[in-house]
Structure 1
């Protein structure tokens, strides 16, 4: 029986590459993003080159009712989700006190509220089926505070904590919850977040989205709780557990500056 993966933020970057990996491994896809034109292009490409079934749903998941509307549409299309990938999210660089509060709250709505709501909507059918996969995309930002990106770092800390907790709860039903925590990755994230010139995105430490997606998928299939792509990122994430908190915070700021 063909399984179905629902992937949010699937129009570019890590989300697009995750969609490709799932398709290459025999999944039919439900791809969600705001840009309907881009989704149609991806659908045409995937159906031509990967011979997989692709459903597309254009939806702004930062809207409060969007997750509920999305799952209602899945029901209308008679689609049952075997794997949920919560990838949609964005960041913004700047001092919190000077930032646009609407942007900051929209970030929370997308990075936290939508992810939580979609996970809650997906779980009942997985519990009934006694199996399923959830892959929540966080960041190495989840492991420390991030001055100049305070809200973004905090949302990713939520994603990691939430995912670990519910993963423990649903394991008895054969469901695995994996958190993918990439470091700097070559996607549209940096330009959208005004991070292109920051130290974090300079040098050889930036990974490509295809590699990150492949490692995330493989970790999910192995039932791993956390996947941190790249040895450098793994070392940096581990070091935050032992270094003084104030020092970790200062280092995070220095990396975000630029």
Structure 2
């Protein structure tokens, strides 16, 4: 049984216009949460907010914000305060990846990736955690990735960003255990979202079997509802087994294996039946 009174929560979700963020919004609205939906696409946000208000009778506030801006966290905190909202839950879901050899990547795109994937969740957590701690209640879910558990050749910055999110979140979990605020990292594996479209290639998930965004959200909310949530949770039995297995081999072997798995030429050979599975 859930230990959280969802009907008393106002949850801010970044990257809420699609994928895992939109699934979080629908699942939480069905539980009675009021929502603050944050993304860059106004039309999608407004449509989702209207859908959820009509279906569940909750309040859904749409805020357009580019999380790559250094002032994004402060602007969002100011906006919700001005609107008279008290955020009791924060889901740092927004993020994107790039795929290809590091040498040759656009430095401006990499800087944006770091801003959205690393700086935004840190600064948003810093902005909203003090109010939760003062009330001695609330939760923060930071969306990491199974890429956090291994080197990720051809997605070096993305993997490192998610490893950062995992590490900082697990540290916050330990710091805040007695505060009344729940903090944990959620690590999806390959998920059927717009991620590959944004990256620009299906090679980003190396042909892995996809979970759904609803699967990922169900894992997260089950963890949140557990009696004593741990610092992190990985979605999917196969993903959990994979992360555990990689801890049993050397970093050298892991990096070499991942370099092979993310090789587009290898995936092309598998697609045409010229190479069997690893």
1:94 and 1:149 in contact (8 A); partners too = yes
| Deviation (angstroms), 1:202 | 2.1
- Cα distance in 2 for partners of 1:254, 1:69 equals 43
Matches within 5 A, 1:11-160: 11-160=17-166
1:27 and 1:52 in contact (8 A); partners too = yes
Q: Which residue is equivalent to 2:273?
A: none
1:195 and 1:256 in contact (8 A); partners too = no
Q: Which runs of 4+ in 1 moved over 3 A?
A: none
**1:27-52 superposed Cα distances (whole Å, 9 cap, x missing partner):** 10000000011101101111122221
| Deviation (angstroms), 1:201 | 4.6
- Cα distance in 1 for partners of 2:42, 2:110 equals 25
| Deviation (angstroms), 1:221 | 2.6
**1:71-129 superposed Cα distances (whole Å, 9 cap, x missing partner):** 00011001111110000000010111110000101000010101100000111111111
Q: Which residue is equivalent to 1:210?
A: 214
Query: How many residues end up aligned between the 2 structures?
Result: 256
1:250 aligns with 2:247: no
- Cα distance in 2 for partners of 1:79, 1:71 equals 10
Q: TM-score, length-normalised on structure 1?
A: 0.96
Please state whether the residue corresponding to 1:98 is helix, strand or coil. Answer: coil
- Cα distance in 1 for partners of 2:17, 2:260 equals 31
Match of 1:194 among 175, 190, 200: 200
- Cα distance in 2 for partners of 1:93, 1:137 equals 19
Q: 5+ unaligned residues in a row in structure 2: which ranges?
A: 1-6, 265-278
- Cα distance in 1 for partners of 2:182, 2:252 equals 34
- Cα distance in 2 for partners of 1:253, 1:68 equals 39
Q: Which residue is equivalent to 2:13?
A: 7
Q: Which residue is equivalent to 2:224?
A: 220
2:32 and 2:56 in contact (8 A); partners too = no
Q: TM-score, length-normalised on structure 2?
A: 0.89
Give me the CA root mean square deviation.
1.2
Q: 5+ unaligned residues in a row in structure 1: which ranges?
A: none
Give the number of the structure with larger relative contact order, counting CA–CA contacts within 8 Å between residues 6 or more apart: 1
